[in-house]
Every structure is written in structure tokens, then in C-alpha cells.
Chain A
Amino acid sequence: MATNKNRRERPATTNRILAYLLHHLQSLHFSLGKIYRAPTTTIMTVAVIGITLSLPGGFYLFLKNIDAISGDFRSSSQISLFLDLDLSNKQARALEQDVANMTDVLSTVFISRQQALEEFRQGSGFGKSIDTLSSNPLPHTIIVEPRPEADTFAVRNLLNGLQAMPEVKIAKLDTEWLERLYTILEIARRSVAIITILFACAVLLIIGNTIRLDIQNRSQEIIVTKLIGATDAFIRRPFLYGGVWYGLFGGIASWLIVEIGYLAISGPLNRLNLLYQADLTFVTFSLQDFIVLLSFSTLLGLAGSWIAVARHLSQIEPG
């Protein structure tokens, strides 16, 4: 019968692969067209996703700047060595040389007992009372500047090494406040991670719900396409692409929101910088951050629509 001939005319395998790719393109284009034709719904969904993602995005940027600033501080960490009172000037000088030659040490400054007393006399205003002392209570001091490339761990090692020297009475790292800052930063970093996870879940739900409504609105169309032989994958595709678009545009929206926010506060931020005479540089999203943000939001869009499609598409059957 005639149908045998018809069957032979059906597309060959290579054509089927081409057609498969073509349908992907068509779905992509179709879902984009749908967004274009329903701008209000789309803009609202994209705005909600953008606002939701801009919160973790903004926090991330805040942390990134704090990190950069605290990195500046790290290079200024110093170790003060207070030497044994019995040490002579010459012995102390020799020790300074030894310390200066250590790896991880950039430079040293020697303050002799006499120098220290002199500075104290002038600086403290206790000149008279100091004169009454029978001996100088201040020790020789060496200020050690670690190399800037030395990390917290290396500096901590250096400190322990110096403390272990018999001539050194007290070795003191002036960065305890910095460590506290780092701990606070770690707390902030983890908080941002938690916020990111929560808001990512929110975006999943938003996109899932939007796609669910879309599926419900088009249930008639889904039934018709199923009746004329569409596979589940074929029906799924435009909805998945819809989710991808929502995620991508939502990511771009959140990026815009954060950038505008940054612009809005950058004026007073730079003024503050000038007032403190702190030469701090503020950073915004790098290209890498931008790509990560968009990939993340797009992936969320795909996942959200996948959940919605998996849950609701199989419920729509002709009957």
C-alpha cells in the first residue's frame, strides 16, 4: 500500500540529528518570542529574580572589597621584640643583624634603651619622674617587618621562632586586631554563603512557579501536540528554554542592580577615602564574576523549569 512508500520518505538519520538541533534552535527562538510577546509577565519575573539575586551579589561585592582592603593592612603587620635587660648595646646590635638576615624578614629597626627612654621622656610628659629612676627600665627593642608575601601562617611561624630566642623577652605581633577582623570576615563569608543558598532556592521557586503557570496556560496546546505524536522531550524543550531565559535575564538584572548600587555609593566612599587619607581602591564585578553570576542564574533557571516540567507535564494527558 501507499504508506510503505511514505515511510521510506521519512527523514534519514543524519537529517534527524540536523532536525533535532534545528528544533532546539526553534525552541530557543520560540521561547524567546513568547517572552517578547508577553513583556509584562516576563519583566516582572525577571525583576523579581534580579532583585533576589542582587542581595547575595551585593554582599559578595562588599566582601570582595573588605578582602582587598584587609590585604592592604596585612602588609603593615609588624613584630616588636623586647630584649633582655641584661643585654649590652653591642649584643643587641648583633642580634638585630641575625634577625635581619632571617628569611621572611624584610627589614628591622633597632631602638636602643637610651633612645627609647629619650623618646618616652619627650613623648609622655613624665620627664621629671623618669629622672628620679635609678636605672633605665626600658629594654632594647627591635621592630621586625616581615616580607609582604609572607602569609599569616608564615608570620606566625616567624613570631614563634623569635620568641624562642634566649635574648628575646617578649615577641609581640601587632596584628591581633587583624586576626579578629579575619574571623569576623569568615563569619560574614559564611553568612553570604547561607544567604546565597537561600536566595537561590527562592529563585528556583520563582522560576518553577512561573513555568508551572505557563504549562497550565498551555495545557490545551500540550494535549494537542501529544495527540499528534510529540514526545515528552519535544514538549519539555520550550519550557526548559523559557527557564533558561528567565535565569539569564534575571542574572543580568541583578548585575545591573548591584552596579547601579555601587555607582550610587561610590561618591561618598571615595570622599571617605580622601578624608582618611587611605589609599584604598574599591572594586566592582570583574568579567569572571560576571560570567559566574550569569552561569549561576542561568543554571538556576534551567533547574527551576526542570522541576516544574517534571512535576506538571506528565499530569497533562489527553483523555
Chain B
Amino acid sequence: MIEFHNVTKRFEGGYEALKNVSMQLDDGEMAFLTGHSGAGKSTLLKIIACIEKPTRGQALLNRINLNTVARSRVPYIRRNIGIIFQDHQLLFDRTVFDNVSLPLIIQGYRPQEIAKRTRAALDKVGLLHKEKSMPITLSGGEQQRLGIARAVVHKPMLLLADEPTGNLDSVLSREIMQIFVDFNQVGVTVLVASHDLGLIEELDKPRMTLNGGQLILNDLDRGMPEILHGYE
């Protein structure tokens, strides 16, 4: 699903957010990305989501080379990914239902299908009874669950979450993480960036730890081969 080969990301001004990172996350796997803030977790997720491009090295998503992907292809790549943000990134001028249905509208589903899938996603995160509410009236935990419903409504192959429990108390955090585990159990590949080490311990999933842009621990290290040729 995701492959990084010696990926380095240097921003303007010379700051290196990622240094020579190699890793692999297979279809259907779930892993945590940990490290202190500024370690490069967000940058790594941004490269997968086509928000940033690697400066050096190669990043592949579903065997598509993210270094060279055309701008016009980016939306179609993102449709395979569900992204969950720490700050939810909700649209506050639309109802809960309209927020969740947006990915389906973008992808051109029919109205009946949109209604069915949106309600199913809301039901999954326990917000079905709030479908007509405005997001501003929801609590922090509910807003995060709304963000998750929107990320999964189009049944993406990959879920990326950047500090999804950042602002939540431990009970709510556990609830959110359990939702990710549930999705992983039905086959979705999940990568969660988090510094909530206590919670990660409990869940017993592989961990990758970044420090200063370098991958210092990788439970998924399988003795990666060097850059594979033959990919585009």
C-alpha cells in the first residue's frame, strides 16, 4: 500500500523534516506513527496525501509514484484515502449530514446512494441522531467522530489520521482509537500519527517512531530491499 524508499523532505530554508526514511505498510495493516512534535510525522502523512512531494527518494502509494504524479491525477489518488485531522477541518456552514456526504458528492454518487452511505457512516460513529445539527453544536469528541465519518464514508482503502485524539480526554481517545481498529478489522489499511503512547501500548499495533526526521524504530521493518525498479 505505502512504500517509502530513502525519502528526504527538505523545506525552503534548508530545514529537513524527513531524513532518508524507508518504510512499508502493506494492504490491510494498521500502524502507529509516533514521535515528539516536529519529528516529521505530519510531513510523512502529507507526502502520502500528495500535499507535499519528497525532495529525494521515492514514495509510492498503491504502486503509484507520488514524486511524479500529475497535478490533475492528485484528486483521484486522494479519493482512495480518508484523512482525519487533529483540528477536524469541518465545514461549519453545513449540517452534519452535508459534511459527511461531501466526498460522495465529489465522486458523483447518486442521491439515494449518498443518503444511504452517509447515514451508514454516521451510524458507525454514533452520530445518526445528529444528522441535521450544525457541527458547531457538537462536542469536541463528536466533531472528531464527524471527521472520521467523513473520512470513511466513501470506503477508502487507506485511512490516515494526524493526531486524531490530540484534544480529547482519555475516554474519548480510547473510543476514537477503537473506531480505527474496527475499520482495520474489515480490511482498511490504517496509519495513525499520535504521541499518546499510553493508548498505543494498550492497542498492541506495530509502531514506527520518528525522531528529528529519522525513523529510529520500525516494528514493520522487514529488511526492505533497496529501491525497486520497474515502478513508474
Contact = CB atoms under 8 A, between A and B. Distances in A.
A1 B27 contact: yes
Interface in A27-69: none
B188 A3 contact: yes
A227 B49 contact: yes
B108 A15 contact: yes
Contact of B52 (A224, A232, A319): A319
B38 interface: no
Chain B interface size, under 10 / 10 to 19 / 20 to 34 / 35 or more: 35 or more
B173 to A, nearest CB: 23
Contacts of B157: 1, 3, 6
Interface in B66-107: 72, 75-79, 81, 83, 89-91, 93, 102-103, 105-107
Interface in A208-224: 220-221, 223-224
A10 B75 contact: no
**Interface of A, helix, strand, loop or mixed by DSSP:** helix
Contacts of A6: 155, 157
A16 B108 contact: yes
A228 B81 CA distance: 8
A319 B46 contact: yes
A229 B78 contact: yes
A319 B51 CA distance: 6
B187 A1 contact: yes
B171 interface: no
Contacts of B166: none
Interface string B39-74: 000000010010110000000000000000000100
B89 A227 contact: yes
Given A3-B188, A6-B155, A224 B105 contact: no
B106 A225 contact: yes
Nearest to A231: B75
Contacts of A231: 72, 75, 106
A284 to B, nearest CB: 43
B79 A229 contact: yes
A318 B50 CA distance: 9
A288 B12 CA distance: 58
B110 interface: yes
B197 interface: no
Given A227-B49, A229-B79, A19 B187 contact: no
A23 to B, nearest CB: 7
A18 interface: yes
Nearest to B85: A227
A225 B151 CA distance: 12
A318 B51 CA distance: 6
B102 to A, nearest CB: 6
A6 B111 CA distance: 18
Interface in B183-205: 186-188
Nearest to B27: A1
A22 interface: yes
What 4 pairs across the A-B complex have the smallest Cβ distances?
A19-B108, A2-B187, A229-B79, A229-B78
24 contacts: A1-B27, A2-B155, A3-B156, A3-B157, A11-B110, A11-B113, A15-B110, A16-B108, A19-B109, A19-B110, A220-B89, A226-B75, A226-B78, A227-B78, A228-B102, A228-B103, A228-B106, A229-B76, A229-B81, A232-B72, A317-B51, A318-B51, A319-B46, A319-B52
